[in-house]
Amino acid sequence: MECATFAGKNGGQFGNLHAKPTAIMFRIICLWLCAISAIWAATPAEIEKTIDGLLARMTLQEKLGQMSQNAMTGLSSELKEEIRRGRWGSLFNGGTLAEKAEAQQLARSGKPGIPLIFGQDVIHGYKIIVPIPLGQAASWNPELIRQAARMAAREAAADGIHWTFAPMMDIARDPRWGRIAESLGEDPYLAGELAMAMVRGFQGESLSAPDSIAACAKHYVGYGAAEAGRDYNSTWIPETVLRNIYLEPFRMARESGVATFMSAFNSLNGIPASGNEFTLREVLRREWGFDGFVVSDYTSIPEMIQHGFAANPKDAARKGIESGVDMEMVSTSYYDSGPALVASKQLDPKLIDQSVRNILRVKLRLGLFEDRPVPPPPPDAEARSVAQRLAAESLVLLKNEGNILPLTAKSGRVAVIGPMADSPDNQVGTWAMNAAGNVVTPLAALRERLGADRVVWIPGLRDTRDRTRSGFETALQAARSADVSLLFLGEDASLSGEAASRAYLDLPGAQEDLVDEVAKAGTPMVVVFLAGRPLTFHSVSEKARAVLWAWHPGTMGGAAIADALLGTISPSGKLPVSFPRTLGQVPIYYNHLNTGRPPGDDKYTSKYLDVPVTPEYPFGYGLSYTKFTYANPKLSAAQVKLGGSFTFSAEVSNTGGRDADEIAQLYVRDLVASEARPVRELKGFRRLHLKAGETQTVEFTVKTGELAFYKGARRVTEPGTFQAWIGPDSTAGVQVQFEIVP
């Protein structure tokens, strides 16, 4: 092919980085068309035939090299030599564009001549950072989330990256776990829908497109159920719960065509996830037919020794390969022990070929064997626009007493107080290592919109963990001089994410004391929280007139927050996770079983003596600057045959005075089944835009198969009586009842 030949003469995958601009543009166009046309022309059979040829000429050590991944901290002479001889199949989280280009050229020109796949933790944006995944989930907007992932993929691909370790779809019911920030919440349906949107965004229309990157479904599986919320810890999940709750988002991601999976750190029912043949081979490969590759999490193969599951690195390598982990991240157990395992007949070499085949298949689908060009990044303004829209839709209004929000011109002078009002690094949240800067903070946005003369700024504390009170007096004076106090509180970015579990969920440092001090001014208080997890803040909420939950909202979060506070937009986010009243309620989640003695007025029921059993704020909850009502529920039929479908509709009315968005939610309950079923399960949602005074009919069509559940490995739909609700959250709504009949 002529353009492939042209590309090869000019630096392989990345071309000549010093050519004239016109030549570079011509080359990019040529390479782009070449890479796309080449891979589109390849059928699955042709790809497998190509893999057969590659495997036939590879040595065992070269195959084990393909099964090895290392961090890229630079391009030393030692690493160059390793790349030439096929020591690594993948490098990640480092290297300049020029270094990646040189490394790729070395890989393709060396022995065995197989290209590298460059990975990166592109978790919630790349250069322009969007809200943390838990914040994105609060938007309940799959299309906008897809756009954000597409933007991140374009930015990452422009830096020579082919693969991201996202999305994370671990179901998280315990906010003590720091990585809840990276999750999509507590519900398998919502998490699955949003994970599929991210996969579509990262991977685009075709993996071979130069601006697409391979997605990775992680952490497989059950990691979000870590015991006591401690990261890396044990999980104990019965198969029924595993399949109905924790596996479900992964199954949906598989259906969306996700290219890779990542095995988790945790043990699952006593078996480490990276050595779990049941989840990796039985479920993922045999049941779901997955044909991409599985990468271990960082050193999780040798960590099976600490788990007490493997005796030594050699044993860990054998168990990892036999269980179905194709590529080992960072640790070298496979490469070091593989030859001896094969020579001693402790490991079938066909398993190594199978893993290498899975890796090569993804590399071929990505077009890495062609001269895959580096695309231009998206325009900065375009990326910032998507980031601001997603930040805006992720904001959740939890309280608005007396409609103090939005602020108006009559609101007068504003005191901005608190450590999170002007903290760019903490605003972008965990896993934002490539952030480009120019973060718009709430303070900057408020000054721009209101004018510096109307805004007085006092941090009060150095950061969220500060316990000193030296700034309290000036904060109190600022509140007294203002007509309204805006307090920006929460968690530093370092307090959520990996290895950031917390034993307490209250505000860290002296933040509650700061609230108490500012409250002495008598000035109305509005509290904005920037945090990576649900917190317990009941006493703060009691003192505040309004509470806005902003998560860690990313690069443009300050602009979105200012727009919400000033009424340019109305908050429309809904909680993707239940907020506990107190730590003692954890774990708390909406789709629980009813028990034989559900909470009630009688003494001997399932409840607490000292707090209500209900959450502080339930799953799906979120207020608006207007009021929505639900009425006139209708069902297409009171009885539905197995294999059929029903349509459930309701009228949603905006009875307030502002145009706004509402997220209508569909919940279903199976009243009697062969196994106890949850009190409610989310089965659908719609974002509606209603003008003031407008009524719309929202309609959901549900097939009976969508009400199926797992009994062991068997997915069944049972006849019986069901209840359904359409409403604003998991505790409210208009209700109907229907039957599924044989």
Q: Which residues are catalytic?
A: 297
With CA atoms as reference, report the closest residue to 675 among 40, 241, 49, 327. Answer: 241
Answer for the pair 351, 321: CB distance below 8 angstroms, yes or no: yes
Separation of alpha carbons 272 and 232, rounded Å: 10
In this structure, what token pair is assigned to residue 185?
């919440």
In this structure, what token pair is assigned to residue 102?
């040189």
Separation of alpha carbons 130 and 556, rounded Å: 8
Give residue 337's identity as a one-letter amino acid code: S
424 preceded by cis ω (within 30°)? Answer: no
With CA atoms as reference, report the closest residue to 568 among 407, 414, 327, 439. Answer: 407
Specify which residues 562 forms β-bridges with: none
Answer for the pair 588, 536: CB distance below 8 angstroms, yes or no: no
Contacts of 39 (CB under 8 A, 6+ apart): 206, 207, 208, 364, 365, 367, 370
CA atoms within 13 A on the CB side of 29: 5
Answer for the pair 676, 594: CB distance below 8 angstroms, yes or no: yes
Separation of alpha carbons 393 and 624, rounded Å: 11
Q: Nearest 10 degrees: CA dihedral of 341, 346, 351, 353?
A: 40
Which stretches does DSSP call E strand in 327-404?
Answer: 328-329, 396-400
- The count of residues in the chain is 742
With CA atoms as reference, report the closest residue to 486 among 457, 509, 516, 451. Answer: 457
Helix-strand-coil percent breakdown of the chain, rounded to 5? 35, 20, 45
Answer for the pair 704, 710: CB distance below 8 angstroms, yes or no: no
Three-state DSSP state, 358? helix
**DSSP letter for each residue of 212-226:** --B-EEEEETTGGG-
Whole-number Cα distances in Å, 681 to 174, 668, 707: 18, 5, 9
